[in-house]
Chain A
């Protein structure tokens, strides 16, 4: 390792970097205004309509035995006391109040469905425009076919890649300039399943669009199912972001952040060293 030379490579092209950081802002605005909207009726259902007596999920607040408000999260047949975070949390005056998600997680903080909707649709449009721009560019600039589509070698190496990830072993050489197969699959899932899915499930909730997309609403089980899926996908985004940021932190955060800001990524080059069994070079 000591003889390894550090060389700087160009890893992320400008459009990817720009659209990535724009998306960070849009996604958080959408997630947080979405929770504000959810708080107007903090319950989820499956089917066409809401069966108020048996929601799939609900966040409620009821007075406990001591008279203080207790927050309760119900998922299917399970109930959890989530006082302080879900169901009951502080209002603007610092008093416990009935609230689905807490103020720190919503835009605006205080309850305001009208403004939550304004933020959500404003950033919803921008998210769609940014997403379409990304798809168009990725296709024209061959980002999709060259960088994201898994190769045959990728598929063959998927077991090894999994094993490397579990041991937090990340390539530092020339192979670090390419996405590994799990990365490719994760990004493809985010773009083609999560991002497309969340937009479609949002549109499926529109009673106006229902007049032409009724088949799609039926396909997912009804409008309340679409709303539930919209919510599940939003939290899948959150889970993706958590893993994504974790991977950045464990694989050299400074190098990774620099490459996403300036495009430049440093790798170790070992031109003379013979390949050993554990090395991660394609083919």
Chain B
């Protein structure tokens, strides 16, 4: 082999191994068992997030001066499901929020009743899983206080949020879930006002949840039902949320 041949051979090898490496990553990514291996990192992440932060530690709050001039609306921004269109047609006058599942007293709330519950206002940063952030002001009913009215049963472990929108305009409704304990975080509210105005449709009218220590996809919009459950297997594809069923982490904390 001449020196030139050897160089060409080495170059070819370098190129080929580079290509094999890249192709290999994509092949690996399609393998079910490798995906399961990668997903094994989610549990330690969830554990670390909770272990490293006191349960009631507050996410940073900001001032009116920090409010984003444009608060991007993402995901569903104009739901077209029949039930949502019916609700929106008369300005949500007939809206009811059902609180059910593992509770002692299933309840149903009108918007007026929700507005009469103990509330909290907060100016917080919304972090989208895509990477951007916007700062908005939210006012809403304390989620924990509402759940206390219904009385969680001892075996309730999760809080599910059932929504009226469908991202793909099909039969899959958006849904989300959190630990029951997270519903009692001081900043967990069911928001009906945004930036001192009634919540608009792109941002989740008439009611959306704010969980300020979580990414945007956890902040379910267009909520019509809150359900307490012992496990998540009976809902959607069993991963605890619309995006979780499509490969996103359930903890939604990073």
Chain A positions within 8 Å of B, measured between CB atoms, are 29, 32, 37-38, 40-41, 43, 45, 48-53, 104, 107-110, 112-115, 117-119, 121-122, 124-125, 202-203, 205-212, 214, 217-218, 223-224, 227
The reply to whether B248 and A104 form a contact with Cβ atoms under 8 Å apart is: no
- Interfacial chain B residues near A217, Cβ < 8 Å: 60
- Please determine whether A108 and B29 come into contact, CB atoms closer than 8 angstroms: yes
Interface status of B70 (Cβ within 8 A of chain A)? yes
B180 CB, nearest partner CB in chain A, Å: 17
- With A and B bound together, what is the CA distance between A110 and B26 in angstroms? 9
**Could you mark each residue 192-214 of chain B with 1 if its beta carbon is under 8 Å from any beta carbon of chain A, else 0?**
00000000000000000000111
* Number of residues on chain B facing chain A (CB within 8 A): 49
Contact of B249 with A by CB under 8 A: yes
Residue of B with least CB distance to A109 = B26
Closest CB in chain B relative to A67 CB, distance in Å = 28
Which residues of chain B from 35 to 62 have any CB-CB distance to chain A below 8 Å in the complex? Answer: 35, 37-42, 44-45, 49, 52-54, 57-60, 62
Q: A interface, by DSSP: helix, strand, loop or mixed?
A: helix
Interface flags, B9-32, vs A, CB<8A=1, else 0:
000000000000010011001000
Would you call A40 and B25 a contact (CB within 8 A)? no
Complex Cα–Cα for A214 and B187 (A): 15
From B54, B70, B249, B253, A52 is in contact (CB under 8 Å) with: B70
Do residues B29 and A115 form an inter-chain contact, with CB atoms below 8 A? yes
B38 in contact with A49 (CB, 8 Å): no
A110 to B133, CA, bound (A): 25
- In chain B, what residue has the closest Cβ to A215? B60
> Which A residues lie within 8 Å of B253 (CB)?
206-209
Tell me the complex Cα distance, A49–B254, Å: 16
- B41 with A50: CB separation less than 8 A: no
